[in-house]
Amino acid sequence: MKVLLVDDEQDFRETLAKRLGRRGIESSTAGSAAEALVWLKQNAQVDAVVLDVKMPGMDGIEALKHIAASHPGVAVLMLSGHAHVETAMKGLELGAFDYLMKPVDIEELVFKLQDACEHKALKGGKPT
């Protein structure tokens, strides 16, 4: 499984990548939505994106719109440290696979990522 972690908090990204790596999940990171979109153009083989909602510049909802349009087979899990039901609903309406709150429980995240990859495989996409 290959995952892109997108969050403006460098320590959070790096820690999460290490914790996922210990569980056999290959992770790349991006510090902004714009950086993530460039990365996705250059790296087609990704199963899921873990996307922070609140980031400077382009936020997670706007990034989700771009990802859904240009990479429809990639599952997007939205992450937020701020509980906003409206934002969660908007993300799900725009095609996010799920929405999780920070601090995220690593086991819950791994479960959701596995679920997203299984869902991708059922829809005809092949997990990498």
Could you tell me the residue range of the domain that residue 25 belongs to?
Answer: 2-122
Structural domains counted in the chain: 1
Digit-coded pLDDT (tens) for 40-75: 999 878 999 999 999 999 999 999 999 999 998 899
Residue 45 lies in a domain: yes
Pair 54, 80: CB distance under 8 Å: yes
Residue 36 lies in a domain: yes
Strands 75-80 and 98-101: parallel
- Ordered mean pLDDT values, 10 residues apiece, the chain (128 residues): 95 96 96 97 91 93 95 91 79 92 92 87 58
Residue reference for tokens 């995240």 = 109
Pair 50, 5: CB distance under 8 Å: yes
Residue 127 lies in a domain: no
Strands 75-80 and 48-52: parallel
